[in-house]
Amino acid sequence: METTRKPDPDRRTFLTKCGIAAVGAACAPAAAAGIDAPEQDKGGSDSRPASASASSIDAATLASGASLAALEFTEKERQQMLPNVLNNIQNYKTIRGQILQNGDGPAEAFDPRLPGFAMPASPKNAAADAAPGPLPTADDDIAFSSVAELASWLRAGSLTSERLTQIYLKRLALYKDKLENVITMTDALALEQARRADENFKKKIIKSPLQGIPYGIKDLFDTKGILTTWGAEPWRERVPNADAAVVRKLADAGAILVAKLSLGALAYGDIWFGGKTKNPWNLKQGSSGSSAGSAASSAAGLVGFAIGTETWGSIASPCSRCGTTGFRPTFGRVSRAGAMALCWSLDKVGPIARTVGDCALVLQQIAGADPADPCTVDAPPITIPDINISGARIGFVENEVDRASDEDKHLIEVLKKLGAKLEPVALPAGPYDRIINLLICVEGAAAFDEMTRGDLDDQLKWQDPEAWPNTFRTTRLVPAVEYLQASRIRRKFMKIADDLFRGFDAVVAPSAHGALHALTNMTGQPAVTLRQGMGRNGRPVSTTLWAPLFNDSRLLQIGRALEAELNLWRARPNL
């Protein structure tokens, strides 16, 4: 197999349309926790020059170094700086002598709430959806049903969790080589959990609507005694000794883990050590990433639902590509404890499924404050209100109207038909993509510093200029001052987002729009991605809506209303 792969040109086009700079941070995600880093390979054949010793650094060296930071100093200033620079080198050595694991985050915990923020109340829960009708006779039809339908049949006794689990396990085995979407199957655990769920159904014990529902999870979440590889060669034999918080919550809810799903190595793209995850609607195309396997598996009817993560677009991007529904919660809604950290101040965990309602059911079970993740927030619970959105105020980004496709224009008309009030809103121009890119690159380089300094990055399959190995090496040269300046600019962005969303229930922009993806990933607003049409090529076309901080339930309500009116979610790829 080839040792390097060039990025999917279609994926690059998507990122360009979204305004995502291909400088290494493109479509990332993640969370927080880890295990000891792998032992360094001391016998590599790639000989590298030794680092410059402190004694070799002089004023001329400082002139060269300053140019890398786009700075200039006089000869007198450089001579004065030299002792301090040499002292800093000793500080670096002290820092590098400390043992840091991936889950050891910074002392500062990001909070998206500005002073004066008032937590919104969640809408009231609505009555349960109507009965789904009789159980289909064909296994494929069962596999592509919604979580709500599956849960109803399981509770009624017309379907057992063991049978449903076997259906998904067989489909995973049948298509995983074609899609390259599975890193580890968990058959034994799944069947054990399914039989336990069936016993509870017989005893009329219902832990949650997810009881007995098989799911897959992005392979950056720790699973006790089961490989958790982060999709990257240095960690392909990594076995955690505890479950991530999300895995534990889903087990408590009675859900069935059937597979650890692929992700682009270290949460970037769709290339991992076992291949390149494919889009079920077009097997010649990658699924995008980094929640590559989660989106592909949901689209292909291989799981009831999946769990993904997003740092910049790693839920929205693969869901748009694969035609699945993805929900990125407000930052701090879901614990990241026990999940690989890429960017502590940006990583978010969310569900990927076939319907918005399914995402709501999953989010109800995984949301909540967790002492193990200092960024989580005690917020009102997720509710599933009715789909009456008459009177909802929805902003449309007017300065992007020239990018609107036919599907975008139709979506606006559908929202109006549902009784929503569409109002124009302007997003101020800003360097959103550049700032988020720098934040991700710096935090990611810190999270995987030992990999870079130990040359373990040479093991990664993807070695192009925009891939993580080169990005992390380059980022070591970013001045700490610039990172803090970017953080200060981010604070200004939080005020821009606060003004943008104030008074609205949701905001929608043309599907080609990318600035809101960058902005809201930095500022923490929730987002939902769902199908808004079917293209001429027979493949889904998706849109994204955003909502104010912690208005997740209201956004779910609007998404469900749209989904019911558009009635597109049952279309399935032909594998």
pLDDT tens for each residue of 469-496 = 999 999 999 999 999 999 999 999 999 9
Pick the catalytic residue: 145, 208, 290, 297? 290
User: Going by C-beta distance under 8 Å and a sequence separation of 6 or more, which residues neighbour residue 425?
Assistant: 395, 396, 397, 398, 500, 504, 507
CA-closest candidate to residue 225, choices 202, 208, 243, 201: 243
Pick the catalytic residue: 146, 152, 208, 218? 218
Number of other residues whose CB lies within 10 A of the CB of residue 96: 11
Alpha helices in 70-146 (DSSP H): 75-96, 139-143
Active site annotation includes 314: yes
Summarize the confidence of residues 448-465 as an average pLDDT. 96
pLDDT of res. 505: 98
Summarize the confidence of residues 447-475 as an average pLDDT. 96
Summarize the confidence of residues 340-366 as an average pLDDT. 98
pLDDT of res. 242: 98
Residue 319 included in any domain: yes
Active site annotation includes 218: yes
pLDDT of res. 70: 93
- CA dist 530 and 404 (Å) reads 16
Residue 281 included in any domain: yes
pLDDT per position as a tens digit, 237-288: 999 999 999 999 999 999 999 999 999 999 999 999 999 999 999 999 999 9
Residue 247 included in any domain: yes
Q: With contact defined as beta carbons under 8 Å apart, do 526 and 120 qualify?
A: no
pLDDT of res. 52: 56
Pick the catalytic residue: 208, 294, 297, 314? 314
Q: First and final CA of the chain: distance in angstroms?
A: 24
Residue 309 included in any domain: yes
Residue 541 included in any domain: yes
Q: What are phi and psi of 310, to 5 degrees?
A: -140, 135
Query: Which domain, by its residues, includes 352?
Result: 24-34+147-432+486-566
Rg value, the chain, Cα: 24
**pLDDT of 327 strictly over 50:** yes
Rounded to the nearest integer, the mean pLDDT of the chain is 91
Residue 126 included in any domain: no
Residue 121 included in any domain: no
Greater confidence (209 vs 44) lies with: 209
The two structure tokens encoding residue 385: 């209100």
Residue 279 included in any domain: yes
Helices 147-156 and 356-366 sit at what angle, rounded to 10 degrees? Answer: 70
Band of the pLDDT at 183, cuts 50, 70, 90? very high
Q: Considering the entire predicted model, what is its pTM?
A: 0.90
Band of the pLDDT at 43, cuts 50, 70, 90? very low
pLDDT per position as a tens digit, 230-247: 999 999 999 999 999 999
**pLDDT of 193 strictly over 80:** yes
Greater confidence (13 vs 326) lies with: 326
Number of domains in the chain: 1
- Whichever domain contains 331, its CATH number is 3.90.1300.10
Q: Is the dihedral of CA 136, 140, 143, 146 positive or negative?
A: negative
Active site annotation includes 152: no
pLDDT of res. 56: 86
**pLDDT of 341 strictly over 90:** yes
**pLDDT of 375 strictly over 80:** yes
Summarize the confidence of residues 91-104 as an average pLDDT. 93
